[in-house]
Amino acid sequence: MINIRTDLALEAREMYQEDQNSGEIPGVEIETKELDKCTVTKVEIIDEQGSKIMNKGIGKYVTLESNLMKFDDDESREEIITYLKDELVDILGSDKTKKTLVIGLGNWNITSDALGPKSVSKTLVTRHIFKNYNKDYDDDFTEVSGLSPGVMGLTGIETSEIVKSIVDKIKPDRVIAIDALASRKMERVNSTIQVSTAGIAPGGGVGNKRKALNKDYLGVDVIAIGVPTVVDAATLTNDVLDLAIDNLISQSEESENFYNMLKKLKEEEKYQLIKDSLDPYDKNLIVTPKDIDETIENLSIIISEGLNRSLHPGRITK
């Protein structure tokens, strides 16, 4: 069982491999492909054994890793949007009659948690047009609705209850939920997109998970799209400690054995040691980069446009 905080199946797989010194994970299938400036890793959890080991639900987890997401220019955005659109089309399929509800999870008042609401605000919604013209099908567009339900601290209502009531009322064929996630590595923050068919637990990015949004609860397929926008202080400290140990080993002969002993500690043991040290002082903070405002705006454009192009075949692109 993996306990270090991460919402990425890719990282859960890495931690298991580091802990067990094994490349194979029972009940899990892996596929990786290298694109120009982007790595796509597909992790599929196929049974309960794999789900228990990974501490993730059964389903597909597609991860795009690219520094293109950190560049605020049209060319970089266009490239990563195209990669994301291709993966979304593969998951969503090409059935133009399917109705989609896009949910933007998170708190729009907190920048690092506003990815969902910002992405939904840029998503092309069409349900009202289909209803006004009494249409069931269109060559260029599919029926899409969108909502940002807020968080329980703002509404007093569980997000899952709001989404469930809307699903029961408008009866979409699928729900796409967008949320900010947490990573165990600072290098993946704001440069990774995960698309999952296993649903999502709102609040995961800040360690405050609520009732999961998944097919068992909502009764329809749930596709989750997330970007890690934060790490906790214990995770960041653990990464910095690893770098410091490597540096000390390279520069020290007398204390080399001691540093090697620290290096051999399991990742989970080091993380727990640091977390236990920080918690009594309430110092296990959530950390996010200083340019988070511009980054969230850029990521919301990437995700919304990737969705628009995958959901609407006639979407005009540059």
Q: pLDDT tens across 235-257, in order?
A: 667 666 776 666 666 666 655 56
Is the CB of residue 188 less than 8 Å from the CB of residue 114?
no
pLDDT of residue 219: 97
On the question of pLDDT at 275 being above 50, the answer is: yes
What's the whole-number mean pLDDT along residues 100-126?
95
**Across 47-51, 151-155, 191-195, least confident range:** 151-155
SS (H, E, C) 30-92: EEEEEECCEEEEEEEECCHHHHHHHCCCCEEEEEEECHHHHCCCHHHHHHHHHHHHHHHHHHH
Is the CB of residue 177 less than 8 Å from the CB of residue 198?
no
- Collapse the DSSP code of 205 into the 3-class scheme (helix H, G, I; strand E, B; otherwise coil) and give the result: helix
Six-digit token string for 267 = 């990742």
**Which domains occur in the chain, in start order?**
9-230+289-310 (3.40.50.1450), 235-281 (no CATH)
- Exposure b/e, 171-198, CB count within 10 A at least 16 = b: ebebbbbbbbbbbbbbebbbbbbbbbbb
Beta bridge partners of 144: 100
pLDDT category, 268, cuts 50, 70, 90? low
- Collapse the DSSP code of 185 into the 3-class scheme (helix H, G, I; strand E, B; otherwise coil) and give the result: coil
pLDDT category, 276, cuts 50, 70, 90? low
Beta bridge partners of 103: 147, 177
Q: State the pTM of this model.
A: 0.84
On the question of pLDDT at 209 being above 60, the answer is: no
Q: pLDDT tens across 61-103, in order?
A: 999 999 999 998 999 999 999 999 999 999 999 899 999 999 9
CA-wise closest residue to 245 among 265, 257, 263: 263
CA dihedral sign, ordered 118, 120, 124, 127: negative
pLDDT of residue 32: 96
The pairing of strands 59-65 and 38-45 is: antiparallel
On the question of pLDDT at 1 being above 70, the answer is: no
pLDDT of residue 306: 97
Mean pLDDT (the chain, rounded): 86
Six-digit token string for 72 = 């605020």
pLDDT of residue 297: 96
What's the whole-number mean pLDDT along residues 12-20?
82
The larger pLDDT score, comparing residue 267 to residue 15, is at 15
pLDDT of residue 137: 92
Give the best-scoring range by mean pLDDT among 10-24, 183-197, 286-300: 183-197
Q: pLDDT tens across 128-181, in order?
A: 999 999 999 999 999 999 999 999 888 999 999 999 999 999 999 999 999 999
Q: How far is Cα 67 from Cα 35, in angstroms, rounded to an integer?
A: 13
pLDDT of residue 57: 93
On the question of pLDDT at 115 being above 70, the answer is: yes
Six-digit token string for 294 = 């511009």
pLDDT of residue 172: 98
pLDDT of residue 226: 96
Six-digit token string for 49 = 């054994």
Q: How far is Cα 230 from Cα 181, in angstroms, rounded to an integer?
A: 7
Give 138's Cβ-side CA count (13 Å radius).
19
